[in-house]
Amino acid sequence: MKKEKTKKTGVHKILISFWAVLVMVTIVITTLVGCENIKKTVPGVSNQFDLKEEKEYWTGSIDDDFLDDRVCVIMKKTTTYPELDIKVFRLKNAESLHYSFLAPTVENPDFHQMLVIYLKEKGKDQVISAINHLKQFDFIMYVGPENIYRAEDD
Protein backbone atom coordinates (compact mmCIF):
# COMPACT_ATOMS: atom_id res chain seq x y z
CA MET A 1 0.00 0.00 0.00
CA LYS A 2 2.80 2.41 0.82
CA LYS A 3 4.46 1.71 -2.55
CA GLU A 4 1.32 2.82 -4.40
CA LYS A 5 1.20 6.03 -2.39
CA THR A 6 4.88 6.66 -3.17
CA LYS A 7 4.27 6.14 -6.90
CA LYS A 8 1.35 8.59 -6.83
CA THR A 9 3.43 11.14 -4.93
CA GLY A 10 6.29 10.75 -7.43
CA VAL A 11 3.97 11.30 -10.39
CA HIS A 12 2.42 14.23 -8.56
CA LYS A 13 5.88 15.80 -8.07
CA ILE A 14 6.70 15.31 -11.75
CA LEU A 15 3.42 16.98 -12.80
CA ILE A 16 4.04 19.91 -10.46
CA SER A 17 7.59 20.30 -11.80
CA PHE A 18 6.34 20.14 -15.39
CA TRP A 19 3.65 22.74 -14.62
CA ALA A 20 6.22 25.07 -12.98
CA VAL A 21 8.54 24.83 -16.00
CA LEU A 22 5.62 25.49 -18.35
CA VAL A 23 4.63 28.61 -16.39
CA MET A 24 8.23 29.91 -16.44
CA VAL A 25 8.56 29.34 -20.20
CA THR A 26 5.26 31.15 -20.79
CA ILE A 27 6.43 34.13 -18.72
CA VAL A 28 9.75 34.33 -20.61
CA ILE A 29 8.06 34.12 -24.03
CA THR A 30 5.48 36.74 -23.07
CA THR A 31 8.23 39.05 -21.84
CA LEU A 32 10.33 38.64 -24.98
CA VAL A 33 7.41 39.30 -27.30
CA GLY A 34 6.96 42.72 -25.67
CA CYS A 35 10.66 43.66 -25.89
CA GLU A 36 10.11 45.55 -29.13
CA ASN A 37 8.06 48.17 -27.30
CA ILE A 38 10.25 48.65 -24.23
CA LYS A 39 10.44 52.33 -23.39
CA LYS A 40 13.86 53.84 -22.73
CA THR A 41 13.90 56.69 -20.23
CA VAL A 42 16.81 59.14 -20.15
CA PRO A 43 17.27 60.82 -16.75
CA GLY A 44 17.17 64.61 -17.03
CA VAL A 45 15.73 64.44 -20.56
CA SER A 46 12.53 62.39 -20.50
CA ASN A 47 10.97 64.55 -17.77
CA GLN A 48 11.11 67.61 -20.07
CA PHE A 49 8.53 66.08 -22.42
CA ASP A 50 4.84 65.20 -22.20
CA LEU A 51 5.26 61.44 -21.82
CA LYS A 52 1.47 60.94 -21.78
CA GLU A 53 1.30 61.99 -25.42
CA GLU A 54 0.61 58.97 -27.60
CA LYS A 55 3.34 57.54 -29.83
CA GLU A 56 2.89 57.05 -33.54
CA TYR A 57 4.75 54.28 -35.35
CA TRP A 58 6.14 54.13 -38.87
CA THR A 59 4.40 51.27 -40.67
CA GLY A 60 6.37 51.26 -43.91
CA SER A 61 8.79 48.70 -45.29
CA ILE A 62 12.20 48.50 -46.93
CA ASP A 63 10.40 48.58 -50.30
CA ASP A 64 9.17 52.15 -49.71
CA ASP A 65 10.88 55.05 -51.48
CA PHE A 66 12.98 56.83 -48.82
CA LEU A 67 16.45 58.30 -48.36
CA ASP A 68 18.98 55.78 -47.08
CA ASP A 69 21.15 58.06 -44.93
CA ARG A 70 18.85 59.67 -42.35
CA VAL A 71 15.86 59.36 -40.05
CA CYS A 72 13.32 62.03 -39.14
CA VAL A 73 12.35 62.38 -35.49
CA ILE A 74 9.38 64.19 -33.97
CA MET A 75 9.67 64.73 -30.23
CA LYS A 76 6.77 64.72 -27.80
CA LYS A 77 5.42 68.11 -26.72
CA THR A 78 7.56 70.20 -24.40
CA THR A 79 7.60 73.66 -22.89
CA THR A 80 11.39 73.77 -22.37
CA TYR A 81 12.50 72.96 -25.95
CA PRO A 82 15.81 71.31 -25.00
CA GLU A 83 18.50 71.12 -27.67
CA LEU A 84 19.59 67.52 -27.22
CA ASP A 85 23.03 66.27 -28.15
CA ILE A 86 23.39 63.29 -30.50
CA LYS A 87 24.83 61.25 -27.59
CA VAL A 88 21.44 61.28 -25.82
CA PHE A 89 20.07 58.95 -28.50
CA ARG A 90 22.81 56.30 -28.01
CA LEU A 91 22.76 55.48 -31.72
CA LYS A 92 26.12 54.00 -32.75
CA ASN A 93 25.50 54.71 -36.44
CA ALA A 94 24.67 58.41 -35.89
CA GLU A 95 26.89 60.88 -37.73
CA SER A 96 25.13 64.16 -36.91
CA LEU A 97 21.90 65.69 -35.70
CA HIS A 98 20.17 68.74 -37.19
CA TYR A 99 17.04 70.39 -35.80
CA SER A 100 14.43 71.30 -38.40
CA PHE A 101 12.33 72.98 -35.71
CA LEU A 102 13.87 73.57 -32.27
CA ALA A 103 11.36 76.02 -30.75
CA PRO A 104 8.22 77.77 -31.98
CA THR A 105 8.50 81.35 -33.24
CA VAL A 106 5.01 82.13 -31.92
CA GLU A 107 2.98 80.56 -29.11
CA ASN A 108 1.78 77.20 -30.41
CA PRO A 109 0.44 74.57 -27.97
CA ASP A 110 0.63 71.89 -30.68
CA PHE A 111 4.31 72.50 -31.51
CA HIS A 112 6.68 69.51 -31.65
CA GLN A 113 10.43 69.69 -32.04
CA MET A 114 11.59 68.03 -35.25
CA LEU A 115 15.07 66.84 -36.07
CA VAL A 116 16.98 64.75 -38.57
CA ILE A 117 19.67 62.27 -37.59
CA TYR A 118 22.16 61.53 -40.37
CA LEU A 119 23.73 58.07 -40.40
CA LYS A 120 27.39 57.12 -40.88
CA GLU A 121 26.56 53.93 -42.76
CA LYS A 122 24.04 54.30 -45.57
CA GLY A 123 21.40 51.77 -46.51
CA LYS A 124 17.70 51.25 -46.11
CA ASP A 125 18.43 48.47 -43.61
CA GLN A 126 20.50 50.97 -41.57
CA VAL A 127 17.58 53.42 -41.58
CA ILE A 128 15.17 50.73 -40.37
CA SER A 129 17.65 49.65 -37.68
CA ALA A 130 17.92 53.27 -36.48
CA ILE A 131 14.11 53.59 -36.44
CA ASN A 132 13.77 50.43 -34.35
CA HIS A 133 16.35 51.75 -31.88
CA LEU A 134 14.96 55.28 -31.59
CA LYS A 135 11.27 54.39 -31.32
CA GLN A 136 11.96 52.93 -27.88
CA PHE A 137 12.76 56.31 -26.31
CA ASP A 138 9.83 57.55 -24.27
CA PHE A 139 10.26 61.21 -25.32
CA ILE A 140 10.10 60.47 -29.06
CA MET A 141 6.59 60.68 -30.52
CA TYR A 142 7.48 59.46 -34.03
CA VAL A 143 10.54 58.32 -35.94
CA GLY A 144 10.61 57.33 -39.60
CA PRO A 145 12.55 57.65 -42.83
CA GLU A 146 12.62 60.77 -44.97
CA ASN A 147 10.37 59.81 -47.85
CA ILE A 148 11.19 60.65 -51.44
CA TYR A 149 8.29 62.35 -53.17
CA ARG A 150 8.20 62.49 -56.94
CA ALA A 151 6.05 64.69 -59.15
CA GLU A 152 3.79 62.60 -61.33
CA ASP A 153 4.01 62.97 -65.09
CA ASP A 154 0.98 64.49 -66.82
Domain boundaries, the chain: 2-37, 46-147
- pLDDT for res 35: 44
- pLDDT for res 32: 40
Q: What is the arithmetic mean of pLDDT over 82-96?
A: 97
Model pLDDT for residues 31-41, shown as the tens digit of each residue: 344 444 567 89
Residue 116 in 3-state DSSP? strand
- pLDDT for res 39: 79
* CATH number, domain 46-147, options 1.10.3470, 1.20.120, 1.25.40, 3.30.70: 3.30.70
% pLDDT > 70, the chain:
74
Contacts 24+ apart (CB under 8 A), 18-25: none
91 or 29: which carries more pLDDT confidence? 91
Taking alpha carbons only, the member of 83, 82, 85, 75 closest to residue 50 is: 75
Which residues are 119's β-sheet partners? 94
Q: What is the mean pLDDT of the chain?
A: 84
